[in-house]
Structure 1
Amino acid sequence: MNNIIKIFLLFLGLGLTSFGGPAAHIGYFRKTFVQDLNWLDDKQYASFVALSQFMPGPASSQVGFAIGYHRGGLAGALSAFLGFTLPSFLLLFLFAVTSAAWQELGVVAGIIHGLKLLAVVVVADATLSMFKQFCQRKTAQCLMLMTAVAVLVLPSLFTQILVLIFAALVGAMFMTRGNGTLPETSTIQLNFWWLGLFIIALVASLFLANQPDSLGQIFGQFYQVGSLVFGGGHVVLPLLETNVGELVTQDRFLTGYALAQAIPGPMFTLATFLGADIWLESPIQGALVATIAIFMPGFLLMLVGLKSWRAISQRPTIAGCLAGVNAAVVGLLLAALYQPVFVSAVAAPMDIALVILGFGLLKMFKPSIVLLVFGFACSGAVIGVM
């Protein structure tokens, strides 16, 4: 029990201080659990990171989940998740239930507008960084462009699913070279109990998502999003906007996303804000259902493959599928950069000037996310009272 409490407290501390998104979180985890505590070595840690990139779900939270599992079994994994997620869950829940009351104030509205402009900068930077990482080949670049065009022209969850499947097939056929080293005949041992639970919940989500005005609808739609997001972080934005955008106004959706930028912890707790905003008759129920639903698929799939990560990631066909999907994900993020992020945030020459300035400062000097949040919030407040 003491070990489980220690895991919880360590991840709670990280949940209170880990600004900067999934890449930064992974850096914090490495420093804490590999360098400082020596709970695992670099090779083991790299294996968790690799598996989190292969499985859909919140990448940094999945790494934390795997560390907790490594240290304390399933109880340790759940303690790690609870500790790391609790601070951002509470903050975004409070924002959701109180922000409508003070959002009309000029200064507050200005701060939120400034954070929306920061979202443009952050998503643009994430898109560029992921392009450099996942779109080095011409095939990947073509997949990225085709995905962005398809989603902008035909914006729907069905379109996104189709382009991800198409990208996986193209990757398997044309992007296997150099991505995998293990023979296709090698044995992969999977935990089919967890896989069965994932499939049952996915099938149930398809039914529940069509039950309007119910908590089941919230669970179904957020579970589907969690089952399709590869890489976590900002990649959740386009799928959430497509799948649940009709349940909240675009302004509230972008407000939640902007606030999620300003707090530590996982980006997936944007679901907390949206769930509370959707289920106004009992916001805490909506927040809990949406949060559990969006994290659940990624954790179930981590449990499926946690002990066989090497065999999974090194099979050429699977590695090629992953390469294709990663390229398509960049296209999804590029499309989301325009709609809804840019369209909903940039409305005047001063806005685009701040975005350009912020992006330039980010690329040249790489300031911490805390400084960026402070700078954009102050700039928005000034504009709000002018």
Structure 2
Amino acid sequence: MLDSAKQNSAYLTRVVEIFSAFFLLGWTSFGGPAAHLGYFNQVFVQQRKWVVESQYAQWVALSQIVPGPGSSQVGFALGYHRAGLLGGIVAFIAFTSPSFMIMVLLAQFGHIWQGDVIFTGVVHALKLLAVVVVADACLTMWRSFCQSRLTVFLALFSTAILIWLPMSYISLVVLIVAAVVSILLLDTEPKIYSALPSVPMAGLFFCLAILLFVLSFFLSEGLGQLFADFYQAGALVFGGGHVVLPMLSAFVADTVSNANLLIGYAAAQAVPGPMFTMASFLGAASAPEGTSSWLWALVATLAVFLCGLLLMLSAQGVWQKLSDNRRFLAAVAGLNAAVVGILLAALYHPIGSSSVLCWQDALMVVVGFVWLKWKRPSILFLILAFVLLGVLRGSLG
């Protein structure tokens, strides 16, 4: 009885830790999906050590292969690894709720924060922090997964292709090519990667994702239509938030004004947390008069994320069953190298190109990177330092 109480207490402690860690990141993770992956690597792999680098890299690779919100899928998988299904759900809610609330309030109050120089300065400083964190993640993962000529080539090849051909599905193509090349050319015994947690009901989650997709074509009114449109968008999108934004905009073009669409589009790229929460903005903006905009936003948000999270669980179950196959492990080595390339390309564009605009920005990034590598401060200290720099910069104009 006493052992059971201790186990329950330890489990509850893990769940609370998941919520607090992801809730903080939900307020401070600027920069889009690739930046979020950098933050997750910094917090959960390097600092908290909840998982090892090879497990994390496999989740990142899966999130690029499976349709849906990439960084949210990785966060969900981290929570699942730490505390089961409840842990995954708590991680998702904690990471998503800050941007959900911000986007709904923006839909209701419009331009209230636009033009504020201090707010703009803080946002820009946190984007520079995203450059630092992603650069650190790229370096750490390069050292882990680019140890042979083939993996170095695949990483650099992936980077070059993604910069040269920045199309929505090109990352998926790059991953497939990297896996096939590794299966054919990786001569040495592949590294044995740490196992991912088993998913007992993986088949059930996959069937539920497909069933909801089929049912969505039979919903045609009110909240049902909203759920159907946004669920289909989440189920059909590869490549993360930058791809889903125009698709979601098309669904509500008849009910949301062009001015509001532009505000939502800009806000999704400026607020912290997952870019898929543009669904929250559009759900609230499309709510008919006399209905709750918060309810419409909630339905739209759950719909756009749900399929991707279900598919992440089911894909992880299949991945785990293949983990002792030699050819599969060779493919994983190629996938991990390609993931490093994808992050390097994202570091260049859009993260770096949209954040480092002058020599002062470059100086802040270099100083932040050196501080991070030399002193290994808590992510909270990094965030506070960059926020203070943003306030100072905004105050001075």
How does the TM-score come out when normalised to structure 2? 0.69
In the comparison of the two structures, how many residue pairs are matched? 330
Aligned counterpart, 1:61: 76
1:92 — aligned with what? 99
Change in Cα spacing, 1:88 to 1:370, as seen in structure 2 (3 Å) is: same
- In the alignment, is residue 120 of structure 1 matched against residue 131 of structure 2? yes
Unaligned runs of 5+ in 1: 32-41, 70-76, 183-188, 229-237, 261-269
* 2:298 corresponds to: 284
Single out whichever of 152-161 and 17-26 deviates more from structure 2. 17-26
**Match for residue 345 of structure 1?**
355
Give the C-alpha shift of residue 288 in structure 1: 2.1
Of 317, 324, 333, the match for 1:323:
333
Structure 2: give runs of 5+ residues left out of the alignment.
26-38, 64-69, 194-198, 219-224, 250-260, 287-295
Q: 1:379 aligns with which of 361, 383, 389?
A: 389
- Post-superposition Cα deviations, 1:146-186, rounded to whole Å, max 9, x if no partner, equal 2112111211123222111111101111226322679xxxx
Task: Give the aligned partner of residue 113 of structure 2.
Answer: 102
C-alpha deviation, 1:274, in angstroms: 3.1
- What amino acid does structure 2 have at the position aligned with 1:377? V
Give the drift of 1:379: 0.7
Question: Residue 314 of structure 1 aligns to a residue in which SS?
Answer: coil
Q: 1:160 aligns with which of 145, 168, 171?
A: 171
Bigger shift: residues 115-124 or 154-163: 154-163
Q: Per-residue displacement from partner, 1:115-150 (whole Å, max 9, x unpaired)?
A: 111111111111121111111111111111221121
CA distance in 1, matches of 2:192, 2:349: 39
Deviation string, structure 1 residues 63-85 (Cα, Å, up to 9, x no partner): 4324544xxxxxxx2x2222233
CA contact (8 A) 2:162 2:345 kept: yes
- What is the CA distance between 1:103 and its match in structure 2? 4.2
Measure how far apart 1:324 and its partner are.
0.8
- Deviation readout 1:296-354 (Å, 9 max, x if unpaired): 2212223445xxx3x62221110111111111111111111121111211222211111
- 1:179 and 2:203 aligned: no
Residue 44 of structure 2, aligned match among 13, 16, 25: 25
Q: 1:10 to 1:59 in 2, by over 3 A?
A: same
Counterpart CA distance in 2 for 1:161 and 1:202 is 24
Instruction: Provide the residue aligned with 2:252 in structure 1.
Output: none
Displacement over 6 Å in runs of 4+: 2-6, 27-31, 45-51, 189-192, 201-205
Moved more, 189-198 or 116-125: 189-198
Residue 242 of structure 2 corresponds to which residue in structure 1?
241
Counterpart-to-counterpart distance in 2, 1:13 and 1:191: 25
Distance 1:214 1:174, change over 3 A: farther
On the 8 A contact 1:144/1:328 being kept in 2, the answer is yes
Distance 1:117 1:126 in 2: 14
Mapping for residues 255-334 of structure 1, pairs under 5 Å: 255-256=270-271, 259-260=272-273, 270-271=274-275, 273-279=277-283, 280-281=285-286, 282-304=296-318, 309=320, 312-334=322-344
Counterpart residue identity of residue 96, structure 2: F
| Residues 196/11 of structure 1: CA separation in 2 closer, same or farther (3 Å cut) | closer
Q: Please report the RMSD computed on the Cα atoms of aligned residues, expressed in angstroms.
A: 3.9
Q: Does 1:364 align with 2:371?
A: no
Q: What is the identity percentage for the equivalent residue pairs of Structure 1 and Structure 2?
A: 23
> 2:364 matched to 1:354?
yes
Q: Is structure 2 residue 262 aligned with structure 1 residue 252? A: no
Q: Which amino acid in 1 is paired with 2:373?
A: K
Amino acid at match of 2:40: G
